[in-house]
Structure 1
Amino acid sequence: MTHRTTALARTTALASAAALLAGALASAPALAQPDAQSDDRPDDRTAAARTTLTFTVDDCEGCEVQLVNARSTLDADVVHVWESQTRRVTDGAVSFRIPTRRTWGMSATVRAPWEGHTGYVTTVAWRYDRERVGDTVTLDDAVTKRKASACWEGVRSREVTVPLVVEKVRVRGVRKEVDGSIAFVPTTQSWLPPMRRAPEGVLGSQDVNICR
């Protein structure tokens, strides 16, 4: 076999291998698993911008709070999910240090020690229906509401403190009426859609809230 013939054979073999690899990648299924991250893990893409978010909470010592950020993609079957570690309210407050960009479209869940088998996770209402940013919301106001947004528009500042109200209420559980919680911010925050059903002001989630 001549040198020219040998070179041609090698070129043909490489081209065939490249075609096979391209076909395998094209036929591989899309990843549908969320890419969860903790607030304590490094996020190289946003190393410079982080925010310390503190919730002040009265009468909810030991309550567990978690932050979640879920964003849809161009592929309807793929949702990117980031979540913080769960932290407990201690001495009336709980703090998180998170990538600032995660505050956009962020939701927060609360698990109180008194809760029964509700079948969902109590979720913070950042804004109730008919309320504008900056409006004050009391417990008496909140229990009259029917819709709420679980999605915060977020902030750009390095530190922010948000008062949070968590109160024990009776709710319809999985099998019977049980103790549950209502969680909301007493000053209406900038929010993102969608507005979700919130009977008597109680916003509950059985899955992540995808904000838009």
Structure 2
Amino acid sequence: MLIRTTALAALLAGLLVPSASAAAPTSASTERSAQPRTALTFTVDDCEGCEVQLSSALGTYPQADAGKVDFWNSRVKEVEGGAVTFRVPTRRTAGMSVAIEAPWEGHTGYRTTLAWRYNGMHVGDEITLDEAITKTKASACWEGVRSREVTVPIVVEKVRVRGVRKMVDGSIAFVPTTQSWLRPMREVWDGVLGSQDVNICH
């Protein structure tokens, strides 16, 4: 697999707004009293100790004003026993992206990000790893839910990627059943979706 770091950086610079210039993040603790809330569980095989963090950032299409982006992120949690659960304000599931760091990852220069939908797929379509690695575009943005409790199976697999200085172990992460998604559809390399800053969803 060939992931050109300079190309990735250039691509992300055009699609993402640096978190440093965005509105100050709202911590999960400041929204403890927000209602309703959703218990969101991700189930995943062979990813014990993987660190997961949720973010939600909604902007105006096609390009959000950095000062007006409604940004939120969760604390980092680890996968234990094949699952990880977050209790989040339900409204924050809209425009949600999921960053995953596996114990085996080398210095990739980006954060592995869950693909909610790949190009050519429709909501409800199933996709395998063999299919995912052929894809060229994906959405990091979930449309969200209104339910109080949701379980989402995900796939995280070790793959070889071009890191900052050399080929290293990296990850591909996706939902095996295509979910409702938001724009933009971003370019991916062999199905791998990586982020260097906040994903602004529309």
Matched, 1:158 2:144: no
Look up the SS of the partner of 1:199 in the other structure: coil
Which aligned pairs between 1:101-180 and structure 2 lie closer than 5 A? 101-180=91-170
Look up the SS of the partner of 2:39 in the other structure: strand
Partner residue, 1:211: 201
- Specify the code of the residue in structure 1 equivalent to 2:83: A
What do the CA deviations read for 1:75-101 (whole angstroms, capped 9, x no partner)? 723133200000000000000000000
Structure 1: gaps (5+ residues): 1-31
Look up the SS of the partner of 1:81 in the other structure: strand
Look up the SS of the partner of 2:66 in the other structure: coil
- Specify the code of the residue in structure 2 equivalent to 1:98: V
Name the CA distance, whole Å, in 2 between partners of 1:158 and 1:36.
Answer: 24
CA drift of 1:36 comes to 1.5
Look up the SS of the partner of 2:28 in the other structure: coil
CA drift of 1:48 comes to 2.3
What number of residue pairs does the alignment pair up? 179
8 Å CA contact 2:23, 2:66 repeated in 1 = no
8 Å CA contact 1:39, 1:96 repeated in 2 = no
RMSD in angstroms over aligned alpha carbons? Answer: 1.5
8 Å CA contact 1:39, 1:97 repeated in 2 = no
Misfit runs of 4+, over 2 Å = 32-35, 37-44, 71-75
- Specify the code of the residue in structure 2 equivalent to 1:187: T
- The equivalent position to 2:52 in structure 1, one of 41, 51, 65, is 65
Structure 2: gaps (5+ residues): 1-20
- The equivalent position to 1:199 in structure 2, one of 185, 189, 194, is 189
What do the CA deviations read for 1:130-188 (whole angstroms, capped 9, x no partner)? 00000001100100001000000000000000001000000010111110000000000
Partner residue, 1:37: 26
- Specify the code of the residue in structure 2 equivalent to 1:128: Y
8 Å CA contact 2:53, 2:77 repeated in 1 = yes
- Specify the code of the residue in structure 2 equivalent to 1:71: L
Label 1:34 to 1:130 Cα distance change in 2 as closer, same or farther (>3 A): same
8 Å CA contact 1:40, 1:85 repeated in 2 = no
8 Å CA contact 1:35, 1:80 repeated in 2 = no
Look up the SS of the partner of 2:47 in the other structure: coil
> Identity rate of aligned residues, in percent?
67
Structure ranking higher in helix proportion: 1
Quick one: higher RCO (CA 8 Å, sep 6+), 1 or 2? 2
Label 1:190 to 1:61 Cα distance change in 2 as closer, same or farther (>3 A): same
Partner residue, 2:4: none
**Which of the pair has more CA radius of gyration?**
1
8 Å CA contact 2:31, 2:89 repeated in 1 = no
Name the CA distance, whole Å, in 2 between partners of 1:146 and 1:96.
Answer: 30
Partner residue, 2:175: 185
Look up the SS of the partner of 2:146 in the other structure: coil
